[in-house]
Structure 1
Amino acid sequence: MNHLHTGGTMAAQHRSAFRAFAGREALVGGGVRWSYAGLAERCHRMARYFQSLGLGRQDGIAMLAGNTPEAVVVVIAAQLLGLRYTALHPMGALEDQGFVLRDAGIRLLVVDGARFAGRGAELAALGIARTVVSLGPAPFGADAVAASAAFDGSETPIEVQPDDVHKISYTGGTTGRSKGVVHRQRTALTMLLQQLGGWEWPAPARCLVATPISHAGGSLVLPTLLRGGTLVLADKFSPASLLQTVQDERISVTFLVPTQIYALLDCADRARYDLSSLQLVLYGAAPIAPARLAEALRVFGPIFGQIYGQAEAPMTIAYLRRDEHDPQRPALLQSCGRPLPGNEVRLLDAQLREVPPGEVGELCVRGPLVMDGYLNRPEETAKALAGDWLHTGDMARMDEQGYLYLVDRAKDMIITGGFNVYSTEVEACLALHPAVAQSAVIGIPNAKWGEAVLAVVVPRPGAACPEPQELMAFVQRHKGPVLAPKAVQFAEALPLTPLGKVDKKTLRAQFWQGQERLV
């Protein structure tokens, strides 16, 4: 290998942060407060413990854990050794988790003994991972926290190479068996540099990790550390506990999914908390209703930055800055921003031709952020990367200024009577109604039109529940008859995935069961 132009590694970035800010507070949560030096020592001890178990560079490690300090130690230790890291879905089924362990070739499984003892025992009994250990005492495996304490906490040699696989991230499996997305050091380092250069980090960076570190929350760890900031871990979300933590820990930055923002807006006593330290709320992972985003700006101020990415090109495809969240330019509240430097983005039709500005096409990406491919899935990899573009499956349009507007997931588009209906357009319209807190729009079978538009609506707390005809007429008045729901159902809450996204697959299932096709 010619080393002159190879890139860096995540291990080297962690070591840089540990050395630069040794005396600062690095991590808060679970009753502990660790300095950078204390965090580094624990990570090196854990890395040496993993080596004692026979693990070496590019061996597979998986973890099932919540947002705990010990889980952060495991992730960093894996990166220091150049292991291939895979996070198990916290709410995944045993069969699916077993598939991931087998598909990814996992040699070591780490389980949060306090939170997942039962599932850990079940996974250990499968006999897929050669070694299973726990974080804390558990009825299976050794206690990795106690065992690692006996090892040397000085710096471990870095053996990881820039072309090594960094992690294998499994998609949610909403359309069948999960796919393992292969990311090398290149992808991780690209995302890190784009996070540092493209996002508007406050100083000091006191970052509340309020989403699972197994998913988006984990991507906040290293950029926060490289800025000399402090990570504050929240293992479970509730509006009151999040607001209390922001006040008590003087949080300046966090990442939330839209459903968490809605919950904060609907929190009756939010005004009693001091949120003056909060300078940046990053949000993404699912569409946000522009009307509720405008409400959030009125309530919390101009502190929001939207991120856009997906498992195959994580977190940093595009970004909408705080100053672009401008109530005087309401159209921008529907945008996910402009591509970050280093990403080439095009909207393409089915023949891979770029569509004109304002027209809808599939959002496609290429650049160093893009995955290597799907593990053990050559046909699906070829489809996703056809024409040397990553096909995101997101339908979007771009305006003359380069702002991207997501209109729907390709699989969520409703085709009714030959017309395309983008569910997010209907949901955005319903969010304008004063009695609607949240909605999910899906297509249901219809003998005449193929699909009919159904809206499942959660009424706003304290408001009188509207009549279905009122909401149908409301959408028709604002968006026309094609987009108007043909039926409205009410629910106390929408089904959510464990990551806080609306689970439209579950909503559709009750209507499409027994059908030969799902569109």
Structure 2
Amino acid sequence: MNYPNLHRPLYGADVLANALNNYPDLPLLRQLDGPTLTVREMRDETSRFIQALESVGVTPESCVSMLASNLPETLHIGHATSMIPSLMVPIHAMSSLADQLNIVRDAGVNVLIFEAARFEKAAADIKREEPGIVLLSVGPSEIAPDIRKLAASFEPKKLVPPVIDGNYIGRRSYSGGTTGKPKAIPSAARSGQQCAMIIQAEWEWPSPPHILSCAPLTHAGGTMFMPA
């Protein structure tokens, strides 16, 4: 008998899928100005966003960028791209147009998802300079389809993690740089795996853990969000 996954290492998407497919009634994301989302609700939203992104042509060859503040959709979309899997390139909410364009061009971004309430003008400016980019909005927008509305039209499914190897690059973050332009920091699946192991083995966690994120979920704040 052949068991191709028996000795396959588990990476971030595997941990995420296993966590969100289990313990459905546990509270997971508490919003200061909104409801608390359970594990089941987070899983269902992740599944819906996977289907929504795939329905507009996002594939493992796509490079998806996100320009948004700390919304639940910031997590849902990040989780969805890790499951497709497609490359995620987050753009810092406080970045300038020059930095945004540099990131889009350097990474080869072909899909930009933006928070309509805050970043519609920035998205329009990027589209004007890079007309080939596909825009998707989180919330109603005059310039792009609403990915939140599209996702709501799908029925959730069980999450199935992708089969990848340790060298797979699923994320490219950009630092402030030392040359006047942002510099890319690629994150391989194996490096994420090792970071997760160190965090769980060496950090002093309360039981159960509670995390207050005061940083952007697209960047430092998102590194702390891994249901376990």
TM over 0.5: yes
Partner of 2:209 in structure 1? 205
- Cα 1:78–1:129 change in 2 (3 A) is farther
Does the aligned pair in 2 maintain the 1:23–1:35 contact within 8 Å? yes
Give unmatched runs, 5+ long, in structure 2: none
The alpha-carbon deviation at position 22 of structure 1 amounts to: 1.0
d(CA) in 2 for partners of 1:143, 1:132? 9
Partner of 2:10 in structure 1? 8
The alpha-carbon deviation at position 49 of structure 1 amounts to: 0.7
Does the aligned pair in 2 maintain the 1:212–1:218 contact within 8 Å? yes
Partner of 1:44 in structure 2? 47
Does the aligned pair in 2 maintain the 1:84–1:165 contact within 8 Å? yes
- Cα 1:62–1:15 change in 2 (3 A) is same
The alpha-carbon deviation at position 124 of structure 1 amounts to: 2.4
Deviation per CA, 1:208-258: give whole Å up to 9, x if none: 111111221110101xx11xxxxxxxxxxxxxxxxxxxxxxxxxxxxxxxx
Q: What is the aligned-residue identity percentage?
A: 26
1:22 and 2:24 correspond: yes
The alpha-carbon deviation at position 164 of structure 1 amounts to: 1.8
The two structures have a TM-score, normalised by structure 2, of 0.91
d(CA) in 1 for partners of 2:133, 2:171? 19
How many aligned positions are there?
A: 223
Partner of 1:356 in structure 2? none
d(CA) in 2 for partners of 1:56, 1:160? 14
Does the aligned pair in 2 maintain the 1:112–1:134 contact within 8 Å? yes
1:80 and 2:83 correspond: yes
After superposition, residues 100-111 of structure 1 pair within 5 angstroms as: 100-111=103-114
Q: CA RMSD in A?
A: 1.8
d(CA) in 2 for partners of 1:160, 1:210? 33
Partner of 1:332 in structure 2? none
Does the aligned pair in 1 maintain the 2:74–2:218 contact within 8 Å? no
**SS of equivalent to 1:96:** helix
The alpha-carbon deviation at position 88 of structure 1 amounts to: 0.4
Partner of 1:377 in structure 2? none
In the alignment, residue 193 of structure 1 is paired with which amino acid? Answer: M
The alpha-carbon deviation at position 207 of structure 1 amounts to: 1.1
d(CA) in 2 for partners of 1:158, 1:79? 8
Alignment equivalent of 1:114, drawn from 113, 117, 122: 117
Partner of 1:31 in structure 2? 34
d(CA) in 2 for partners of 1:42, 1:160? 21
**SS of equivalent to 1:167:** strand
After superposition, residues 166-185 of structure 1 pair within 5 angstroms as: 166-185=170-189
d(CA) in 1 for partners of 2:131, 2:177? 20
- Cα 1:129–1:77 change in 2 (3 A) is farther
Give unmatched runs, 5+ long, in structure 1: 227-519
d(CA) in 1 for partners of 2:224, 2:160? 25
Does the aligned pair in 2 maintain the 1:121–1:139 contact within 8 Å? no
Q: Which structure has more strand as a fraction of its residues? A: 1
d(CA) in 1 for partners of 2:54, 2:152? 14
Partner of 2:154 in structure 1? 151
- Cα 1:19–1:3 change in 2 (3 A) is closer
